[in-house]
Amino acid sequence: MSLHALFNPYTLGPYHLSHRVVLAPMTRTRADATTLAPSEQTVLYYAQRASLGGLLISEATHISPEATPSWTIYQNVRDDGGHVPGIWTDTQVNCWRAVCDAVHGKGALISCQLLHAGRVAQPGIGLHPLVIGTNAPLPPVSSSATALRPDVEAGDYNWDQPAVVPRALSIKDITRLIDDYRHAARNAQRAGFDCVELHAAHGYLIEQFFCDGINQRTDHYGGSIENRCRLFFDIVAALVDELGAGRVGVRLSPAGVDPSTGHYYQTYFGATTSDPDALYDYAVAGLNDFPLAYLMLTEPRVGALSVAPEADQSTKQPLRNRRFRALFKGCLIGAGGFIPMTAEQAVAEGHYDLIAFGRWFLANPDLPDRLRDGSPLNVYDRTTFYGCRSAGYIDYPDRHQLRGGGLSRYRLIDQAHMSLPRDASRR
């Protein structure tokens, strides 16, 4: 199997990409506990994944204390600790600069994913030394005072603690929130990021405005689809205003109803809406008014947590987001459940321009080279996705280390075995 389409160069706004294999944004909870900034290990992690003319997207990076969740829903974080980074202090900017410099040193580009988690962030951050005694607004906030119901809505995430009822953001708060995004974008630029990405997916704050299952506002940020998308477009406009054309990306995770089963798909943290098709058509089409770098769409087919990669049938589900190709005129990045062959197909058939790989890039620092030459892939270890240890973070070997006979604790999988037909892959 050769992957020609993935290795055609691509022009992304002002930038030249020499291939289409993107590092998907992935939270790794390895930020420094005191500064909530990237550590030296984080610099190495991104540098390992940088390649000439490649694009990396950073893990979710929080725009303010109010935006910042603590991921104690993950067992490793409960056992060992683990923090997520911000980009609101000078120290954080300086530490991100070390990441950007290392990535640029290898000829790659890096986009900073900006996140406000809304009601998914709980008040714990208020006790952090960076925040305690300051006047920083604290989480949780949301579109409305609609609490996450841990039993029903976050069961998949093992969220068993009572969630605090969020404060509904006032109009004054929204003005300040947009300033927080502007501040974060300026900081990202100071740190040397090539673009920023607005994380408007996966049940976080922007989706909490999109979805009428959560947003019960009666002002011009609630009610109609236009109103529920207003904050989203306000923030996109502010980011483009700060950074200029070709420097802002957006991530969305369009929800929908499967016509064959009638089931709603792509729900994260209880963010459901009565009108997913019309909502996402409006949100995607409206982005054509902005000179964006890219729009990344999450495909809902992400493998079940307990399934081994060889048995993961979710990767064979068809693409759900095809209709957006006709609606959005710019660069489309696909993410979610891609394996080498399906990524090649999606680009060759014109559904996406670039493909973001999450778990396979996490486990294969030299993923673009392995895809190019067909080398086997390291199999990811889910137990170390989160937590604060270096195991599972910076110890995945590249091809040269493997050829040199270095010891690896990771199993290898042949790329051909990832694309076997349904029954054969069960063996």
Ligand X SMILES: Cc1cc2nc3c(=O)[nH]c(=O)nc-3n(C[C@H](O)[C@H](O)[C@H](O)COP(=O)(O)O)c2cc1C
Binding residues among 205-224 for ligand X as defined by CB under 6 A: none
> How, if at all, do strands 109-115 and 55-57 pair?
parallel
- The CA-atom distances, in angstroms, between 192 and each of 16, 95, 102 are 17, 11, 11
Binding residues among 121-140 for ligand X as defined by CB under 6 A: none
Q: Which stretch binds ligand X (CB under 6 A): 43-51, 64-72, 196-204, 209-217?
A: 196-204
- Which of 22, 24, 131, 331 lies at the binding interface for ligand X (CB under 6 A)? 24
The site map against ligand X for 367-396 (x = CB under 6 A) is ------------------x-----------
Rank residues 227 and 390 by Cβ distance to ligand X and give the closer one.
Answer: 390
* CA pair distance 215, 221, nearest whole angstrom: 9
Bridge partners of 113? 197
- CA atoms within a 13 Å half-sphere pointing along the CA-CB vector of 189: 14
Binding residues among 229-248 for ligand X as defined by CB under 6 A: none
Under the binding rule (CB under 6 A), the answer on residue 83 touching ligand X is: no
Total Cβ atoms within 10 A of residue 176 = 13
- The CA-atom distances, in angstroms, between 423 and each of 198, 343, 417 are 40, 21, 12
In the complex, minimum distance from the CB of residue 6 to ligand X, in angstroms, rounded to a whole number: 14
Under the binding rule (CB under 6 A), the answer on residue 300 touching ligand X is: no
Determine phi and psi for 264, rounding to 5 degrees.
-75, 135
- Report the residue closest to ligand X, judged by CB: 358
Rank residues 19 and 144 by Cβ distance to ligand X and give the closer one.
Answer: 19
Binding residues among 53-72 for ligand X as defined by CB under 6 A: 59-60
**Can the peptide bond before residue 129 be classed as cis, meaning omega within 30 degrees of 0?**
no
- Which of 21, 27, 38, 333 lies at the binding interface for ligand X (CB under 6 A)? 27
Query: For this structure, is 204 an active site residue?
Result: yes
Helix (H) or strand (E) holding 256: strand 256-257
Under the binding rule (CB under 6 A), the answer on residue 358 touching ligand X is: yes
Token pair of 296 as six digits: 């990344």
Rank residues 111 and 146 by Cβ distance to ligand X and give the closer one.
Answer: 111
Under the binding rule (CB under 6 A), the answer on residue 294 touching ligand X is: no
* CA pair distance 179, 315, nearest whole angstrom: 39
- Which of 17, 21, 26, 250 lies at the binding interface for ligand X (CB under 6 A)? 26
Token pair of 144 as six digits: 């409305």
The answer to whether 67 and 115 have CB atoms below 8 angstroms apart is yes
Q: How many residues does the chain have?
A: 427
Size of the site for ligand X (CB under 6 A): 22
Helix (H) or strand (E) holding 112: strand 109-115
Q: Which stretch binds ligand X (CB under 6 A): 2-10, 226-234, 242-250, 351-359?
A: 351-359
Under the binding rule (CB under 6 A), the answer on residue 267 touching ligand X is: no
Under the binding rule (CB under 6 A), the answer on residue 225 touching ligand X is: no
**Can the peptide bond before residue 140 be classed as cis, meaning omega within 30 degrees of 0?**
yes
Rank residues 144 and 342 by Cβ distance to ligand X and give the closer one.
Answer: 342
Catalytically active residues, by annotation: 204
Interface contacts to ligand X, rule CB under 6 A = 24-27, 59-60, 113, 199, 201-202, 251, 298, 302, 335-338, 357-360, 385
